[in-house]
Amino acid sequence: MAVKPTNNISLLAMPSAFKIITENNLDVFNIEGTGKGGRVTKGDVLLYLNLIKTNSNIKTNSSIIEKNISKRKDTIMDVLVPILGESVVEATVSKWIKKQGEFVEMDEPIVELETDKVTLEVSAAISGTLDSLVVSEGDTVEVGALLATIIAGEKSEKLSKIVVETSQVKKTNQTPKVENTSKQEVKSDPVSSSNRDNKNLEERVPMSRLRQVIARRLKEAQNTAAMLTTYNEVDMTALMEMRSSYQDSFEKKNGVRLGYMSFFVKAAIDALKEYPAVNAEIEGNEIIYKNYYNIGVAVGTSQGLVVPVLKSADLMSFGQTEMAIAEFGKKAKDGDISISDMAGGTFTISNGGVYGSLMSSPILNPPQSGILGMHKIQKRPVAIGNNIEIRPMMYLALSYDHRIIDGREAVSFLVRIKEIIEDPRRLVVGA
């Protein structure tokens, strides 16, 4: 057996394997690693422990180890929890897409994992039969943990027949029993509000990991930050006319429609440069001023609110901004937003107007210190000079952390955005 270049167990074994090795006082050099770079996986350790149980002289008979490990490397592939992203160390098994005994193709999704940020699918690295499922739905697993094993091989007619028959048996067993009521008179007793049992109409489901984290983070924001909200309204006339005038040529050139969000992103960046405290965050007793502009755009999904981030948004053109926003929208709809898409934001924009919200107070997205809330465009009578005119108006809201942002800065920041939106030419000339 090859000699390892170092005796540092933590370098030779995956974290989940390292824990079992330490608890059982095993010699890592006796365990052949089948993981990336030859590292010992949890599956390797479990196999080794199983060999010890079935072979009393396993510790002194290295040929048995090498024989079994060699066989394993050729025929069995471990399905492990992948790296989940920065600061994410565990996930919940939300759903097994494939069942034990089913044949899976290479790159076919096997299991769905849910973290506190995203839901992701783990795919098969080889084609074969999904063997032992080590964890169940609802279990919490760490990065590098063993989920299941795949026995390499080609799909056989016998296997397909067994899977189909098993499925049919399950369906047969689940067929509800129908009682013969032809000889009985069914009495229709209307349910009144007095005798209805409301508990039978309740449905109790566990909160998803994402929903739990959303709830915790929002409450932490309320408990930690000295959060205040300032409001203003903006006349959208000039922006709507500009958008209408250049919509066709913009779409032909960039392959995407010109929306309002890109203007608000650019206006926010302009205002952030003028009032840097809104782009800062608190860490301990220090304030970190960010001289870069990663703008998060809040997107609602069926699983909860996610905030993908436009990295270096100040360097992006209007076309690039709109394309990135459209791509995030598609990913959110398909459930494909990754952890890297949501990392590193410095300021967030939330548009409740797409759901018809006229006014709201957005909650901070920690550790950020400011969030801009856009709302529904609604025609209202407003005073223009000495005249009353009907104009398309939008309420804006800026929630901010009063610990580092003064009221004057917050109000001035929102007024600056109002000035740019009401006269978008300012973005061109820098006025």
Identify the CA nearest to 316 among candidates 289, 337, 297.
Answer: 297
Q: How much of the chain is in helix, strand and coil states, percent to nearest 5?
A: 40, 25, 35
Four-residue CA torsion sign, 85, 88, 94, 97 = positive
Q: Are 276 and 289 in contact (CB under 8 A)?
A: yes
Between strands 347-351 and 370-374, the pairing is parallel
CA 321, CA 328: separation in Å to the nearest integer?
11
Q: Residue 124's CB: how many other CB atoms inside 10 A?
A: 21
Token pair recorded at residue 337: 């937003």
List, by residue number, the catalytic residues.
Answer: 402, 406
Please report which helix (H) or strand (E) contains residue 78, including its range. strand 76-80
CA 17, CA 36: separation in Å to the nearest integer?
13
* CB within 8 Å of 304: residues ≥ 6 apart: 208, 210, 211, 214
Q: Per the omega criterion (within 30 degrees of 0), is the bond before 392 cis?
A: no
* CB within 8 Å of 267: residues ≥ 6 apart: 416, 417, 420, 421, 427
CA 305, CA 319: separation in Å to the nearest integer?
25
* CB within 8 Å of 176: residues ≥ 6 apart: none
Please report which helix (H) or strand (E) contains residue 5, including its range. none
CA 104, distance to chain mean position in Å, is: 25
CA 107, distance to chain mean position in Å, is: 21
Question: What Rg do the C-alpha atoms of the chain give, in angstroms?
Answer: 29
